[in-house]
Amino acid sequence: MVQYTPPLDTAFAALADRTRRGILERLGCGDASISDLAATFEMTLTGIKKHVQILEGAGLATTEKVGRVRHCRLGPHRLEDETTWIARYQEMVEARLDRLGEFLERTKGDQS
């Protein structure tokens, strides 16, 4: 059985949701308050807070309360392990496709 690390699972789970990916894209342009994010994504404050908490749990976002306003920014996690996993997966798929192509070329010659 293949084992994956919990941080990898946590990051992929956080990124699996379209709204959370949108929040990260928005935060890539600059910090935003929870209220700003809720307005941008047409969600309730409670709904957006839940998404931000999941991003925080994965290290992809951080928040800080200043007065009555909670500000969000990109977190410290830079997805290096996730990028490495995706690259290895892509290499594996490409190698399989290359072998399939080679097989098809060999068998095509047999049919002549």
Q: Please name the amino acid found at residue 2.
A: V
pTM of the model: 0.82
Please provide the DSSP assignment of 10-77 as one string. HHHHHHTSHHHHHHHHHHHT--EEHHHHHHHTT--HHHHHHHHHHHHHTTSEEEEEETTEEEEEE-S-
Does domain 1-76 fall into CATH 1.10.10.10?
A: yes
pLDDT in tens, 28-78: 999 999 999 999 999 999 999 999 999 999 999 999 999 999 999 999 999
pLDDT in tens, 84-106: 999 999 999 999 998 999 989 88
